[in-house]
Amino acid sequence: MQPGQLIALAFAGVLAIGTALLSLPIAVHGRSATFIEALFTATSALCVTGHIVVDTPVFWSPFGQVVILVLIQIGGFGVMSLATLLGLFVARRLGLRTRLTAVSETHTVAVGDVRRVLTGVALITVTIEFAVAVLLALRWWIGYGEEPARALWLGVFHSVSSFNNAGFALFSDNLMGFVADPWICLPICASVILGGLGFPVIMELRKKFRFPRAWTLNTITVVVGSIVLLVVGAVVLTILEWSNPATLGALDPAGRVLGGFTASVMPRTAGFNSIDVSQMHPASWLVTDILMFIGGGPAGTAGGLKITTFAVLFFIIVAELRGDTAVNMFGKRLPRSTHREALTVALLSVALVIGATLAIMLMTDYSLDRVVFEVISAFATVGLSTGITASLPPAAQAILIVLMFIGRLGPVALGSALALSTQKRQYELPKERPIIG
């Protein structure tokens, strides 16, 4: 079995267990969850998406919320990465197949780096989640008068959900009640950004933060791309929603700026919302669509096309327009295999989005902009919604389930397959060039 296949099978197994647990009477308040409700929620949590079809704090009991939190942590860290780490602690050694599987899921450079990378990833995850949980718990305890135990639970849940870019919240309106509170929004935004950078980037920045010239091409691309997307997204969304009374228009200038910045951070596949997405301007939906589709950094908790893939495509276009014989990016020359991988991932992603959008539009009467938003949000494992997810028919919700699963595993599995299946032909076919354009 290929490592990518093993990863998909492991995710499917954990998904089945999560669905079964959420189907138990103890997992809900009142009536039991239907199969589609349990499956959709388990998929959304395991694939760190945040899409919901029921109100999380109202529908799910404390037991159900704990199950969701565990699924988020497993999905963000990686099923096989977690299993490998546990095996490392128990057996003190890793077999070759285990190392290859972990390499596929973590995008480790070499098989020999697996032990170091997994322990580093675990340490980073615990450190960031603990720090953010403490800040949030103190704010909800001191600033909002929550009981200490309740404040701690809120802090832990939202810390894990934010760092893993999940977007699940324990408030019916998500974070809309804290849109102008920097002590809530900024720690969550920081956690989302760090999780979206990807573990390799975080580990490298931890060692070489003061030496940018020593950064790898992956780190430079992710850092520069993240800054550009955050700044451009914040400026554009703030301007578009500045006078909208249903979103930012009712806030003071400082609150509008904070709300616009948060709205730019969350499409990095986090899914939290501090403003009412359903009331945003259609142009803001389009901007959010673009940010969601690009996503965050590779080998982390973010989804989407990935910043690196988008950057490679951008520099391919630049090289073609300039007539360069090679594609150069930040002072480095890209191998042709990288061009093909980026084009393959991008075209398959576009095909999935178009196909799912067409299918859902045939099942419902919702407008194109709303359906595209939901589809991209599911595929990019974001979780933002214009408010139509819960009212979609079961067949359309099933399409979103498949998109979330593919969105979490597809780029990883495809990238691994492309990297591991490189073969040299013993011959070449005759060369001929068709007319382009």
**What confidence tens digit (pLDDT) does each residue in 108-124 have?**
444 445 566 677 777 88
More confident site: 275 or 344: 275
pLDDT at 160 over 60: yes
Give pLDDT tens digits for 43-95. Answer: 999 988 999 999 999 999 999 999 999 999 988 876 545 544 444 444 344 44
DSSP code of residue 139: I
DSSP string, 43-73: HHHHTT----SS-HHHHB-HHHHHHHHHHHH
pLDDT at 358 over 90: yes
Closest of 67, 255, 55, 47 to residue 171, by C-alpha: 55
Separation between Cα atoms, residue 330 and residue 436, nearest integer Å: 28
pLDDT for res 416: 54
Mean pLDDT of the region 408-435:
66
Mean pLDDT of the region 399-415:
78
pLDDT for res 176: 94
Give pLDDT tens digits for 133-147. Answer: 999 999 999 999 999
More confident site: 430 or 436: 430
Window from 28-32, 169-173, 198-202, 401-405 with minimum mean pLDDT: 198-202
CB atoms closer than 10 angstroms to residue 418: 16
Instruction: Please count the CA atoms within 13 angstroms of the CA of 320 that sit on its side-chain side.
Output: 9
Within 69-155, strands assigned E span none
Mean pLDDT of the region 254-274:
93
pLDDT for res 111: 43
pLDDT at 407 over 80: yes
Mean pLDDT of the region 415-431:
64
Q: Is the pTM of this model over 0.85?
A: yes
